[in-house]
Every structure is written in C-alpha cells, then in structure tokens.
Amino acid sequence: DTGVSQDPRHKITKRGQNVTFRCDPISEHNRLYWYRQTLGQGPEFLTYFQNEAQLEKSRLLSDRFSAERPKGSFSTLEIQRTEQGDSAMYLCASSRTGGGSPLHFGNGTRLTVT
Amino acid sequence: GENVEQHPSTLSVQEGDSAVIKCTYSDSASNYFPWYKQELGKGPQLIIDIRSNVGEKKDQRIAVTLNKTAKHFSLHITETQPEDSAVYFCAALEDSGAGSYQLTFGKGTKLSVIP
C-alpha cells in the first residue's frame, strides 16, 4: 500500500490559465474522490468515480472544472480559465467499494492563482 | 443536505492531559462518522471511525463516542503528546450503499499540546 499520490504538490498559475492535476489512488481501490479545501475549512466534496464512471458531482464543480478517470485507475482534474477564487488545496482520496470503506487521502495539490 | 458543526475551533492542553472535541450533525440518516488528523502540508489521515450501531469505540489513546438521539459525537484523546498537535476534523456520511458517498466535514479543531 503506497498510498494515494498526487502531482504536482504545488501549482502557481496566472488567472485565465488552465491547470491539470493528477491523482493515483491506492491500487486495489475502485472508488476515487476529489475534494477541495480552503484555509481554515474542512474538505468539501467535488466529485467521485466508481471505476471509470463519474457517479456524483457537487454543485461546487462549475463547468470550468472537469474530472476524468479514463481507465478506472488514475484520475485528472482540470480547471479551465482559472480564477483567484480557485486558489485552494485539491485533495484526492480513494476507497474500496462497499459500506463504510474509509477514505484515504493524498497530500493534495496546492493551487495558487495570481 | 448534511451540516456538521465542530467545537472548539482551537484547543490547548498540557502534555499528558486529555483533549475532547465535539461535533453535531443534522441529518438523522447519517450512519458513518470518521475522524481525521491533518498535519501541516499533508492530507487528512483517518484516525478512527464509528458506525451508528455502536455507541463507543476505542483505539489505544483515542476513543470516539456517538449519541444518535442527540445527533452528536465526540473524539477523546487521553495522555496527549506533542505529536498529537494537529488539526482534527470530524465528518458524517449517510452510507446507504446506494451510490452517494459525500463526506461532510466540520471546520476543524486546531489542537496544541504544550510540553
């Protein structure tokens, strides 16, 4: 169990640019989640996948955000036309399927939009 | 949707003392309550969780209690050590197995253990 891996750890971008983050879940986990965390707050749910299917999206996930998990393994989260309000920590988590399977989080990608 | 309130927002204790963090939730259908510890620059790490069919769970110095009637749950850390210093988050989930798996988190408690 190598844990959930996220890349990059930090990203600084100018407003209006597109950014893409990658998440590699724990290998035997078929559920993958994206959360966003701003300073002083708890993580907020964005979306989750079961295998390659995106099963749920939060209203926080505007049309500038898109997530994919093409082969049911790694996932990418893309933000188009970034805004300063997108500055946050983007956390990925994974779990097994089934009742009460705990979520295991990665160390996140910290995005700063200037 | 679910709403989770967490108190206190900051907590300072002397090393060796106990620390208690309390959370309340709004959705009576919630049945899974994990606690996470987050250190600076890292993601949240699960430390203990409890399901609605039990009232208490212990793991060494950490315990969680759940009162479903009152819709609140608490984290208890005994014999605190400096390495317990971190931000702690409670969370709640209705785990019906039907597909939705949105954990709702509290705003966190910054615990400082003073040597």
pLDDT of residue A12: 98
The answer to whether B103 contacts chain A (CB < 8 Å) is: yes
CB contact B102 to A (< 8 Å): yes
Write the pLDDT tens digit of every residue in B27-65.
Answer: 888 889 999 999 999 999 999 999 888 899 999 999 999
Question: Residue B98: pLDDT above 80?
Answer: no
Contact between B43 and A44 using a beta-carbon 8 Å cutoff: no
Longest pairwise C-alpha distance within chain A: 41
Contacts of B97 (CB under 8 A, 6+ apart): A98, A99
Q: What is the pLDDT of residue B100?
A: 61
What is the predicted pLDDT for the residue at A52? 92
Dump the DSSP string for A76-101. EEEE-S--GGG-EEEEEEEE-SSTTP
Chain B contact probe: residue of A31, A45, A109 with most B CBs at under 10 A: A45
Contact A100 B95 (CB under 8 A): yes
pLDDT in the model for residue B102? 82
Task: For residue A87, give every residue at least 6 positions away whose Cβ sits within 8 Å of its Cβ, in sequence order, or none.
Answer: A38, A111, A112, A113
Reading the block at residue A19, the tokens are 């950014």
* Ranges of residues in chain A whose predicted pLDDT is under 50: none
CB contact, 8 Å: B34 with chain A? yes
pLDDT at B79 over 60: yes
Q: Which of B4, B38, B53, B88 to mutate to test the interface with A (most CBs of A within 10 A)?
A: B38
pLDDT score of B113: 98
The reply to whether B49 touches chain A by the CB within 8 Å rule is yes
- Say which of A48, A106, A108 has its CB closest to residue B101: A48
Which H helix or E strand runs over A33? Answer: strand A31-37
Q: What is the pLDDT of residues B5-34, one digit of tens each?
A: 999 999 999 999 999 999 999 988 888 999
